[in-house]
Amino acid sequence: MAERHVNVGWAEGLHARPASIFVRAAMAAGVPVTIARAGGAPVNAGSMLAVLGLGAQGGEEVVLASEADGAEVALDRLAKLVAEGLDELPETV
């Protein structure tokens, strides 16, 4: 299983707009991805309700994971998005 540990770069955490950006990127990744708060249970990264339900705050560590082939590249892109707190999807997602 591939994993990435990353701190949430959005000051407001994974709420509303940032969660929407992240979920769209996760769905576009082409592989199933989960996200979890450090030490918490993983949830589907492609589910807006699940991501909002995490309640991840700005600066908090989250874990992105996938067991799929090609997951390394997808997780790298998602980790960069989360860490940098981007306001829109990069073209490479």
Between CA 51 and CA 89 the distance in angstroms is: 17
Sign of dihedral through CA atoms 12, 90, 45, 83?
negative
- Choosing from 3, 7, 9, 15, the catalytic residue is 15
Which residue from 80, 77, 87, 85 is spatially nearest to 28, judged by alpha carbons?
77
| 5 labelled catalytic | no
Beta bridge partners of 36: 63
> Catalytic site residues?
15
